[in-house]
Amino acid sequence: MASLNVLATLFLSYLLLTLFLSEAKHASSSSSSSPKSTKIGQGYRLISIQDDPNGAITGLLQVKERNNIYGPDIPLLRFYVKHETENRLRVHITDAKNKRWEVPYNLLPREQPPPLKQNIKRLKKKKQPLSVSEYSSSELVFSYTSDPFSFAVKRKSNGDTLFDSNSNNSDSFGPLVFKDQYIEISTKLPKDASLYGFGENTQPHGIKLYPNDPYTLYTTDVSAINLNTDLYGSHPVYMDLRNEGGKPYTHGVLLLNSNGMDVSYKGTSLTYKIIGGVLDFYFFAGPTPLNVVDQYTSFIGRPAPMPYWAFGFHQCRWGYHNLSVVEDVVENYKKAKIPLDVIWNDDDHMDGHKDFTLNPVSYPRPKLLNFLDRIHSIGMKYIVIIDPGIAVNSSYGVYQRGMANDVFVKYEGEPFLAQVWPGAVYFPDFLNPKTVSWWGDEIRRFHELVPVDGLWIDMNEASNFCSGKCTIPKGKVCPSGTGPGWICCLDCKNITKTRWDDPPYKINASGLQAPIGFKTIATSAVHYNGVLEYDAHSIYGFAQTIATHMALQGLQGKRPFILTRSTYVGSGKYAAHWTGDNQGTWENLRYSISTMLNFGIFGVPMVGSDICGFYPAPTEELCNRWIEVGAFYPFSRDHANYYSPRQELYQWESVAESARNSLGMRYKLLPYLYTLNYEAHISGAPIARPIFFSFPNYVQCYGLSTQFLLGSGLMISPVLEQGKTKVEALFPPGTWYSLFDLTQVIVSKDGNYVTLNAPLHEINVHLYQNTILPMQQGGMVSKDARMTPFRLIVTFPAGANEGEAKGNLFLDDDELPEMKLGNGYSTYIDFHASAKEGSVKVWSQVQEGEFALGKGWVIDTINVLGLIGNGATATMEIDGTVSNVKIDITEQSYLYGKGDGEKKIVMVGMKGLNIPVGKNFSMTWKMGSSV
């Protein structure tokens, strides 16, 4: 849906924000007796330590010298260190005497540190500092310095220091600071380390963190067009890639803290400045990027399995004023022969913008149900939006039941009043178990009203059109029904009377040091069990996502599909994400790639941006180029603003042609995308990946943000600039084959930039050597596409005398909540191929083949690329039955680079094979003399 910054970002929001900023900045300068760059205090000293039987270390830290910069120091800290797995190390530091806020253990399940106030042995003066290496065979080694206290984490295999909080006089950062509302800790970094992460943030410099760019983490409804600004999600995690002597090593660092924070990256150091909570670090050893994401998602939760149809194309618009418009959209996609799987409604279907309602005039229920019957019969799906704000309306059943169950966030003992699209609203408190039950019941009631296929939860940062303490005005209608819907019309007064609303340290909220309660729930508001919004703010959307997932799973017994705007560490376990309100500009098209790649690192692989931009109107050329990129987003959806002209892909014939080309290929790739979905679910592997994930040795691609991979070897190289019909694409070392024309070959011996032709309707997609890619024949709806015959594309290095290729395929009943083997409703196939001295073999190894056999899936075509010589008849064996297969030979041409010795290479093709997908097969042949 539209953010409150849809157009306000352009002409209103910052004007309103400015009214608060003068006061905020004055407060910042007056309450902070030290500038941000000054070292604060002398840190802590270690006064006692013990090693625990479980291999952990527990110690006490005492502040060395107290000061009142950003408030008084906490005098005594407890630190706890444990190797939780061979590849994961935890360092937890908190107040030794008083329990502090942490991300709730029921929301993000994990091991709890021991209770506070344990009897800890005194440290003997001559005792050498302990090292966890004495207690564990882990790859990560923990060490510390006693006075001032600092700690370091090293990699055992090469001695590399991954994290080092020690502060010397020459360092720009100081030692550990731990106050109630200000915590600071830093680490040294080698200057050649490449860092990725810290979001959600639109990064103008690409996927690599850029020194001196601001990285603020605090969930905020600020349009994604704002650069270097804290956006909808909070992900305090980074990946560090280093290349030492030609050998790459990667590790990950998570600071599990939901409070607002600034992260200052200087290139050779990284400093966290946090306004509450605890220090709870998790270090992940890697050493490859995929290893890091595997270890990270093993801890935070594996990405949710998505239903097959979710990988089809989605169409949405804020402004489908009635059902007939939606019906026309579906029909026009069909007429234009553009694939479409899911049609969405923003809040247009609602009665007065109220959740879980239908507008009886524009979306009459009998007609809507009839429409849903028609689209469901052909396999299409329907999704609608839900915002967290519940309208304050005594005749509204959802509100009545919410009040009766006491489910709302409180302020001074009463539900906190805010304004969103319906007008005055209360926000459900998703930390309250009663709220979770009530929310599930409302979703059940709505599903009985409208059998939707998924839910879209928006505005859940939480977004509020007002700030402060508000009351419903007397004597006027609010909202009036005229003018922009996001103008605050409640009677409100600013709240600055508590330290929660006006903390001593000002994070760079909204990129402008905005008050942290600006346009959201007041930070002194209270959740269940007395939890402050100050602490829980950035997990609001996360808690709502979990409650929504629980409701859908319990309701339908099917695999839920949820799209959420606000995310936190672990959100990918429950939902997909889109990158919010972007603009229809070339710059925003470029930014979409970096944001998508970051979310793969964050463990949210099902991600995409609004294709063609949310607002304002894109140009025809831009929309052509955007669908060519967006067709390869993991989550592919066109979405536009209420105030923008219509931009469905059929609105321009040229865009329709580009859509048929690019989405046509996407629908052929659906089995590959779905298999990547399975890999993500079992190992965290991102669906869309930076190039360095597959080529960590190739340092030239470490900052590459204009190309990306789907899986390990399918590379997308789009046009991202106006007026361009060529692309300068970087090809890592090896052989690459054009997916749209398998005869076109690029051999990049040491890694090269290659100029590719890219006419308006074409997108360059290349498949890497040593790959077996499963495809189907496509279709207008994924339900039909997935029943077409399979095709395997096998790639060897061009002209190599020998080679190996691998691929895999996962198939299941995608309605089942769980995605796994062994339930009788799934099949997994490993494909293999080898070539040596003219002998070629292609074969499969099937697990749980009965499901695929029951569906009747067959492999019709196999193409093998990059071979030398000409072919003869191939021998194929299935279940001991041998048959001969005719081979077609097509010569391939080098677009760039020649093969070894300028050898001619050919593609071997076999059609009409009719191989059952669920049975092992083996095919062999001998290539003839060199062509």
Give the per-residue pLDDT at 2: 52
824 and 847 in contact (C-beta within 8 Å)?
no
In 3D space, the residue among 277, 251, 275, 273 whose CA is nearest the CA of residue 263 turns out to be 273
Q: Which residue carries 């509204």 as its tokens?
A: 396
**Beta-bridge mates of residue 284:** 88, 252
Task: Catalogue the active-site residues.
Answer: 458, 461, 581
Q: Which residue has the higher pLDDT, 218 or 878?
A: 218
Report cis status (omega within 30 of 0) of the bond before 616. yes
HSE value, Cβ hemisphere, 13 Å, CA-based, for 667? 28
**pLDDT tens string 40-78:** 999 999 999 998 878 899 999 999 999 999 999 999 999
**pLDDT tens string 833-846:** 999 988 999 999 99
Q: Is 361 exposed, middle or buried (0-12, 13-18, 19+ CB in 10 A)?
A: exposed
600 and 594 in contact (C-beta within 8 Å)?
no
Given a cut of 80, is residue 1 above it in pLDDT? no
The whole-number average pLDDT for the span 299-312 is 98
Q: What is the largest CA-CA distance in the chain?
A: 92
pLDDT more than 70, % of the chain: 93
In 3D space, the residue among 176, 202, 185 whose CA is nearest the CA of residue 262 turns out to be 185
What is residue 294's three-state secondary structure?
Answer: helix
Task: Find how far residue 818's CA is from the centre of its chain.
Answer: 20
Which pair of structure tokens corresponds to residue 672?
A: 């590959």
Give the per-residue pLDDT at 61: 97
Given a cut of 70, is residue 158 above it in pLDDT? yes
Which pair of structure tokens corresponds to residue 54?
A: 């479980």
Report cis status (omega within 30 of 0) of the bond before 148. yes
**Beta-bridge mates of residue 756:** 727
CA 474 – CA 782 distance, rounded (Å): 53
The whole-number average pLDDT for the span 209-218 is 94
Given a cut of 90, is residue 697 above it in pLDDT? yes
The whole-number average pLDDT for the span 857-878 is 89
Given a cut of 90, is residue 38 above it in pLDDT? no
At 872, the pLDDT band (50, 70, 90 cuts) reads: confident
CA 648 – CA 23 distance, rounded (Å): 44
At 223, the pLDDT band (50, 70, 90 cuts) reads: confident
| Lowest-pLDDT choice from 91-100, 278-287, 509-518, 911-920 | 509-518
The whole-number average pLDDT for the span 184-202 is 96
Mean pLDDT of the chain, nearest integer: 92
Query: 540-556 and 433-449 are packed helices; what angle lies between their axes, rounded to 10 degrees?
Result: 50
Q: What is the DSSP string of 58-105?
A: EEEEEESS---TTSPBPSEEEEEEEEEETTEEEEEEEESSS------T
pLDDT more than 90, % of the chain: 84
**Beta-bridge mates of residue 568:** 234
Give the per-residue pLDDT at 873: 77
Give the per-residue pLDDT at 902: 65
b/e per residue 871-885 (b: at least 16 CB within 10 A): beebebebeeeeeeb
The whole-number average pLDDT for the span 93-97 is 97
Query: What DSSP element (H or E) covers 196?
Result: strand 194-199
CA 727 – CA 716 distance, rounded (Å): 11
Given a cut of 50, is residue 184 above it in pLDDT? yes
CA 902 – CA 388 distance, rounded (Å): 64
The whole-number average pLDDT for the span 675-699 is 98
542 and 566 in contact (C-beta within 8 Å)?
yes
Q: What is the dihedral of CA 821, 823, 827, 828, to 10 degrees?
A: 10
HSE value, Cβ hemisphere, 13 Å, CA-based, for 926? 2
At 411, the pLDDT band (50, 70, 90 cuts) reads: very high
Which pair of structure tokens corresponds to residue 154?
A: 């090293």
342 and 639 in contact (C-beta within 8 Å)?
no
Q: Tell me how long the chain is.
A: 931
Q: What is the dihedral of CA 670, 673, 679, 682, to 10 degrees?
A: -70
CA 636 – CA 710 distance, rounded (Å): 13
